[in-house]
Chains A and B, each alone.
Chain A
Amino acid sequence: MKLELRGITKRFGEFTANDSIDLVVESGEVHSLLGENGAGKSTLMNVLFGLYEPTEGQILVDDQPVAFSGPGEAMAAGIGMVHQHFMLIPVFTVAENVALGDEHTRAAGILDLESTRRKIREISDRYGFHVDPDAIVEDLPVGVQQRVEIIKALVRDAKVLILDEPTAVLTPQETDELLEIIRQLRDNGTAIVFISHKLREVKAISTRISVLRRGRLVGTADPSAEQSELAALMVGRDVVLNRQKSAPKVGEETFVVRDLTVLSPTGQRIVDHVSFGIRQGEILAVAGVQGNGQTELTEAIMGLHKASGSIRLDGQELLGRTTRQIIRAGVGYVPEDRSTDGLVGSFSVAENMVLNRFDQAPAGNAVQLSPSAIREFAAQRVETFDVRTQGVDVPVSTLSGGNQQKVVMARELVDGLSLFIASQPTRGVDVGSIEFLHDRIVQERDAGTPVLIVSTELDEVLELADRIAVMYHGKIMGIVPGDTSRDELGLMMAGIQHEVQHDQHTVTQEGTRA
């Protein structure tokens, strides 16, 4: 089967998300779509999958023009999609999820799940998926949930499989497993569209690479191309990958967490007896797959979660204090999700700049705000952090992701911090802003502040960290030097405890990787 996009344009009002894009994918081929966040990859695939209607252009299946009014028709034409956010119903079983929309029935519409179960077992055996058709989806690890998504497509005889950022939620090992599955599918004649912004994976799996930037197809590349070449194509200018930062000049250990435990309402230990310390002038990065307690760890430090244990900063106990008191103790905090926790979208840039100090001079006092002082302060922060905005009075929601993140950073990274915490500091941010934000974080470290970074992007962890703590199921699997290999980190992220004494070469798995 051959799938072709010809001159696809998709506009949302004024905004052009896709600008006359041509793309061909044929069976037995992995065609990667590389691009930054917001480059228009997902929009393009949603057009292809019938979720959006293209403004202009044509979709051709085996050289026949087709028009999909909905995902049902796209699937009937043999197109399957694994969405970035899984489209599975958490309370249903695997079989129910797979059957949904394509159910086999007996008389009177009574469900016949047995044939679905049989098909799942068949596919599961063929590709070594190890998926139990009667398991409830929400009880399964994300890696397995993703396989359920793939099974969903295969049961419907997908000839073209679109994978939208499939590795975002996976550990490095799970990623390797997925790439292996993709290879098998490719060898069995499935055409694959692999969407990602991760250069390494794209290089490892593709037969062809197309690069998207700001909605336009800016070029194609060969998988043998250098990473820096691909990065330059993706970003539109030369990018320095793996910048070297100077060695840390560490001071005293002023931030100490001991036996910190956070319980979920149902009694699960989300953070499980976590202990670590950060010295002045040092960056400790917490690595781990999303949802292993990192978010709750930072929120507990900020007093946003009930917790037990001890959190000491400069000798003072922070646990049990209110969030306001913790901020006053000199803690800067960049929350994981800027749009819900970091900013008030409808407030102006200036107002957002003083959210953490609106009742302190010069922004105001306990009774009133002083708008002119706030604007002045904000203007100066906008300047220092190079926030691209039309002014300090525009709503912060009108800014791009990268600039919004700069606003949060500018607010939190003030002089005289005694601790700086940033959770996912560059999630959904363009490469240019990532460089800038990373530089600011390293600057803060060099100014002698202990810095705690939480990131699910291993690249970011490796770039920033002086030491790395890996979390898995709420526990710290080990705290290792900043130059630890990806493979070793990957094993820890999968729950294998770091053992200090063992020979590192035994866990290096270059041999098993393709």
Chain B
Amino acid sequence: MSHTVTATDSRSETPRPQAQTPEQDVVRHWNTPIVFAVFTLVSLLLFTLNASGKSATFRISTPNDAVHIPDLVAPTVPVGWVITLLMAALTVWAFVSVSRGRNVAGWQAALFALLLVAGFLVWVVGSAQNTSVFLTGLIAGSFVLAVPLIFGSMAGVLSERAGVVNIAIEGQLLAGAFTAAVVSSITDSPWAGLLAAVVAGVLVSVLLAVFSIKYLVNQVIVGVVLNVLVAGLTSFLFSTVLAPNSSTLNSPSHFTSIRIPVLADIPIIGPILFDQTVLGYGMYLIVAALYIGLFHTKWGLRVRAVGEHPKAADTVGIKVLRTRYINVLLAGAIAGMGGAFFTLVSSSSFSKEMTAGQGFIALAAVIFGRWNPIGAFFAALLFGFATNLQYVLAILGTPVPSQFMAMLPYLVTVFAVAGLVGRSRGPAAAGTPYTKE
């Protein structure tokens, strides 16, 4: 040790050394408090001053449930005031935090969002013609809508972590839904349908992989083109082949729910966790496997390295292109399963462009979830909830025009991705093809 780090030693001999530390000017991000203030105002004007005066009832249990939980009754005016005041308090807190140079903590934002959602629910249900809503059904329904989003976002996470932007999720979902419907109808086996959906998703991925990895075509453009291709192809085949023979080609046999006794009776979470089809359970497995795989295994370390700095990965002997191919194909398989959920679980048969932009919302969930499987899972749940809320409220008959309600999931997407995430950073090399010079 005696003859190491010469300069450090000599530096300390220098008379009065003044080591300079990098200085940081606090950049105050006022966006969050301002967004808080706007929503507090909205809450004041709508949830409080414009409240119906009735009570909103949230039913949790049905009369024949084993465990009976009493209904949640929320009088709109007092609840509106309490929520508005809490939001105002959080807003003031946020302004004070930022002016003191601190950022608004994540849990504060989460709490604010929760209050906003609660306030909105109480207000909107209270103003509806039917002021009673089945909360457990609302959540279970959200979940059903979220399943394909979750599959899609897992496909996005996996592909982007390896450095290939996957805009083709939409196409992979749609291809999966179509083939699952046809194969399941012909063979009368949902398992065969699922397998076919996986193959279809992989086929879309093969195109994405070959064009973006081998031929270095812009990944976003390939993805968009693939979406249009799949939409066109399935629509054409639907009109010319499926529609005339719908009883033989478009009446898939479905997966049925596997109910786990007792556990499925737990209020609210029971039906979500313990009364699912094979695809629902499989989804949980995939989320968990991807999370552990990406962050705690040798395989994941290599995948992330390839997505961050492929050249560095190459210099330690990792096969960059092979890693990318495998991940993009695997992503296609996962998205294909998500597509199968449409025709083997949630809908009775295939219909034209039935994925309706879900692939793009899944992409938003990837970003909102910060390229982390768990984060993307919850983001997808949020988007599913927004979509289902729109359906439920349309049935209840709310004062909000249905067109506005239909915009809800997309508004949530825009705010979530643009506003709340802010400075989230994806894999550095995602979207950049790797070539050795």
Name A's B-contacting residues (CB within 8 A).
49, 51, 70-73, 75, 81, 83, 86-92, 96, 99-103, 105, 108-111, 127-128, 130, 152, 173-174, 176-177, 180-181, 184, 263, 265-269, 272, 472-475, 477, 490-491, 494-497, 499, 502, 506-507, 509, 512-513
Contacts and interface: CB of A to CB of B under 8 A. Distances in A.
A100 B7 contact: no
Contacts of A181: 4
Contact of A268 (B4, B18, B25): B25
Interface string B314-341: 1111110000000000000000000000
Interface of B: 1, 3-11, 13-27, 292, 296-302, 304-305, 308-309, 311-319, 423, 425, 428, 436
A109 B7 contact: no
Given A110-B296, A502-B15, A101 B317 contact: yes
A100 B305 contact: yes
Given A111-B297, A127-B4, A268-B25, A90 B14 contact: no
A102 B308 CA distance: 18
Given A71-B315, A128-B1, A473 B308 contact: no
Contacts of A102: 316
Contact of A497 (B13, B20, B27, B315): B20
B305 A105 contact: no
B19 A88 contact: no
A496 B423 CA distance: 34
B238 to A, nearest CB: 42
B316 A75 contact: yes
18 contacts: A70-B317, A71-B314, A89-B313, A91-B428, A100-B305, A101-B318, A102-B316, A103-B298, A110-B296, A184-B4, A263-B27, A269-B22, A269-B24, A472-B20, A473-B22, A490-B7, A491-B14, A495-B20
A268 B4 CA distance: 33
A474 B20 CA distance: 10
Given A100-B301, A103-B298, A109-B299, A88 B9 contact: no
Nearest to B1: A128
A261 to B, nearest CB: 8
Contacts of B7: 173-174, 176-177, 490, 494, 509, 512
Contacts of A263: 25, 27
Contacts of A497: 18, 20
Q: Which of B19, B302, B312: most chain A Cβ within 10 A?
A: B312
Given A89-B304, A89-B312, A181-B4, 8 more contacts: A73-B317, A99-B301, A100-B305, A111-B301, A267-B26, A267-B27, A268-B22, A509-B10
Contacts of A130: 5
A83 B315 contact: yes
B19 A496 contact: yes
B103 to A, nearest CB: 11
Given A103-B298, A180-B6, A473 B313 contact: no
Contacts of B425: 91
Given A89-B308, A180-B4, A81 B317 contact: no
A495 B317 contact: no
